[in-house]
Amino acid sequence: MQHFLFLQVPHGPFVNELEVGLETLGHKTTRLLFNAGDWLYSQPDSAIFYRGSIEDLNSWLQDQQVKQSFTDIVVYGDCRAIHRCAKQAATQLGCRFWVLEEGYLRPSWVTLERYGANGHSKLPELFQVSSLQNNVVSDESIDIPAPSNFGKSQRYIMLWAILYYGCRLYFDFLFRSKIRTHRPNPFIYEFASWHIKLAKKLFGRDYRHRKICRRFIREEKFFFVPLQLVEDSQIEVHSQFDSIYEFIDHILDSFVRNANPNHKLLFKGHPLDSELINYRKYIITAAKRFGLENRVTYIHDGVVPNILDHAMGTVTVNSTVGLQAIHHRCPVMCIGSSIYNHSELTFSGTLDQFWVNPSTPDNEKYRKFRNFLHQECLVAGGFYRTNAIKEVVAGLVEKLTCTSNTTNSLVEETSCQMDCHTLEGTHKAVLSPIKKVLHLPTLLIPIVTIPVLSVPFFVSVVGIRLRAHIKARIKKWRRNPS
């Protein structure tokens, strides 16, 4: 029997369903809570509160290990201060350390890795070892399931975040936590910014930008630059840049000195960017400073696969859009550390050289790498939608409770031999995520927070749906006026 300790995980009912799935198989789970938002999505009988500081967390975990005998620690992202401390503790205690992340291939996949993810991942060196040993499977010998269409999750992400941060807004004072959030801005500012963004969406801004994008990719020769989130740890930890601003300036400076005068740049904002920082204004100002005002375009929205099909190349720090670009055989310049930054997949020269002579990725090498990812770390499903949660939990339970896979055989591990307590009491019934969120102790929290914080959100969502419905009716009427 294994004993899983969960630290901070994606907002919403996902972790509850995962805990129930593991407990149903006879394993034990514990959730470590740091604030009121964590408490909202926790199971009362498996939760432990931590009110200490980051500096004391390592020793606290070692004390808990004596009492609880953890075998596995599970986190979402490995770059937060809390999770870096947990990784260190896992190494000292001999526990398996698992990292959850959004899928390297999207949509409809999530990532589960041992030891670390992204720049801390062992996958690049494992892929090289597997290639040398001819262990990487070919397309003919593996049956990769087609991802299910779970639907868009953006609204669910915002809903779970509103409940999470609303709970923190009203009840964090009860926890007296000494650990500050990893996000750079107060969440109340982000709430306001998201509501403004939704209002702009309601009034057709994204539609106008998609129209601009379609015209641009038809008429221009351009390089594509997808921006990452301002709080993305991949920028801070796994790149040479201190901020997105520095990355933008670096791109513009190199482009103006080396690119063909007839070529242009297309910047695109991240779909989950709250737009608290106005990148469009900054890029326009910076383009003027470099004398590129007529060669640089910024869009908030656009169909990424269509852009990649027409782009001369893609420049990114380490975004997963880079993998999408390789899939579309679009040349990629990866400036930061990433799992796909191999000489056969990405450009191996400098950025200055990339503008002049971008090289097309090796399609055969990409197919092998994609198959390797499916074997080692990808699980079908998602963290936010009900149907996606159901599928991803089944896959994660299988991987978390199975210790015989390629990763474990290729990397020398510390054996984890610990006494585990038997699971006491009866297992909980697997409830739907909505019922899990609205269990009795936390029923009053959404009632209090929704009127204050999420009325504009729901009004915007309803408005968007109504606008789409009216547009469909008008289109139908134009086709058949009678």
Distance CA 201, CA 178 (A): 37
Residues counted in the chain: 482
Contacts of 83-86 spanning 24+ positions with Cβ under 8 A: 83/7, 83/8, 85/54, 85/57, 85/58, 85/61, 86/7, 86/57, 86/61
Q: Are 361 and 331 in contact (CB under 8 A)?
A: yes
End-to-end Cα distance, the chain: 68
Domain 3-102+381-449: give its CATH code: 3.40.50.20
pTM: 0.77
Band (126; pLDDT cuts 50, 70, 90): confident
Architecture of the domain made up of 187-372: 3-Layer(aba) Sandwich (3.40)
pLDDT of 46 > 80? The answer is yes
Query: What is the per-residue pLDDT for 440?
Result: 35
Query: What is the per-residue pLDDT for 145?
Result: 60
User: Would you give the distance in Å from CA 288 to the centre of its chain?
Assistant: 33
Residue-range domain boundaries for the chain: 3-102+381-449, 187-372
Q: Measured on CA atoms in the order 112, 118, 121, 127, is the torsion positive or negative?
A: positive
- Across the chain, mean pLDDT equals 79
Buried b (16+ CB within 10 A) or exposed e, 345-375: bbbeeebeebbeebbebbeebbbbbbbbbbb
The token pair at 99 is 């990292």
User: Would you give the distance in Å from CA 354 to the centre of its chain?
Assistant: 28
Q: Are 215 and 259 in contact (CB under 8 A)?
A: no
Is the peptide bond prior to 107 cis by the omega test (within 30 degrees of 0)?
yes
Query: What is the per-residue pLDDT for 81?
Result: 84
Return the ∠ at Cα 277 (arms to 253 and 210), rounded to 5°. 80
Distances (CA, A) of 45 to 17, 48, 224, 231, 425: 15, 9, 50, 33, 11
Residue of 386, 385, 382, 383 whose CA lies nearest to 430: 386
Contacts of 63-68 spanning 24+ positions with Cβ under 8 A: 65/93, 65/95, 68/3, 68/5, 68/30, 68/421
Q: Give the residue ranges of DSSP H helices in 172-240.
A: 187-202, 205-219, 233-237
* Tally of CB atoms within 10 A around 417: 7
Band (151; pLDDT cuts 50, 70, 90): low
3-state SS of 232-280?
CHHHHHCCCCCCHHHHHHHHHHHHHHHCCCCCEEEEECCCCCCCCCCHH
- pLDDT, tens only, 434-452: 334 333 333 344 444 445 5
Amino acid type, 262: N
Strand, helix or coil at 162? helix
Q: What phi, psi does 379 have (nearest 5°)? A: -130, 130
Instruction: Say if 3-102+381-449 and 187-372 have the same CATH topology.
Output: yes
Return the ∠ at Cα 396 (arms to 116 and 363), rounded to 5°. 65
Query: What is the per-residue pLDDT for 203?
Result: 77
Q: Are 40 and 447 in contact (CB under 8 A)?
A: no
Most confident of 119-128, 236-245, 382-391: 382-391
Band (160; pLDDT cuts 50, 70, 90): confident
- pLDDT, tens only, 163-214: 887 788 778 888 777 777 767 677 667 667 766 777 777 777 878 888 889 8
pLDDT over 70 for what percent of the chain?
A: 77
Residue of 74, 99, 101, 92 whose CA lies nearest to 3: 74
Give the largest CA-CA distance in the chain.
77
Beta strands at 72-76 and 313-316: parallel, antiparallel or unpaired: unpaired
- pLDDT, tens only, 358-417: 999 998 889 889 888 988 899 999 999 888 999 999 999 999 997 544 444 444 443 333
